[in-house]
């Protein structure tokens, strides 16, 4: 009976080793697919970054032609965005703060009017 138990255990180990080998091959294939996906995504991101840089260059040229100061427009947009985020983080206090920030918004509108008159 000792040999029968040993043969059974050897067969169980062989079955387990086969399952482990198959699982390792599946995981290896998944890793390869993931690496391909990452490479493809990196290529797409690079292409989008290049396209965005081209569009930015065109936008800079058009803005310069029209006389719009992109740095001030960009700064104003970042300030407005930061104020919006600060208002959101204040919670209920944002209603009170919105009344206080309204005059600043009116000032930015007149700055826009000044740039469009140029």
Q: Total structural domains in the chain?
A: 2
Range of the domain at 22: 1-66
CA–CA separation, 57 vs 62, rounded Å? 9
Residues 4 and 62 in one domain: yes
Residue that is last in its domain, among 51, 66, 81: 66
Whole-structure pTM value? 0.50
pLDDT tens column, 58-113: 999 999 999 888 888 889 989 999 988 888 887 655 455 545 544 444 444 444 44
Please give the DSSP secondary-structure letter assigned to residue 118: -
Three-class SS state of 37: helix
What are the structure tokens assigned to 58, written together?
A: 């065109």
Non-local (6+) Cβ contacts of 3 within 8 A are: none
CA–CA separation, 5 vs 96, rounded Å? 81
């Amino acid at each position: 009976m000792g040999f029968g138990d040993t043969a059974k255990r050897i067969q169980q180990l062989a079955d387990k080793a086969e399952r482990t080998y198959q699982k390792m091959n599946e995981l290896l294939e998944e890793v390869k697919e993931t690496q391909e996906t990452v490479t493809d995504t990196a290529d797409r991101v690079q292409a989008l970054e290049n396209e965005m840089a081209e569009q930015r260059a065109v936008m800079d040229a058009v803005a310069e032609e029209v006389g719009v100061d992109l740095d001030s427009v960009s700064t104003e947009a970042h300030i407005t965005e930061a104020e919006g985020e600060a208002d959101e983080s204040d919670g209920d206090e944002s209603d009170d703060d919105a009344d206080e920030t309204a005059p600043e918004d009116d000032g930015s509108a007149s700055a826009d009017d000044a740039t469009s008159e140029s």
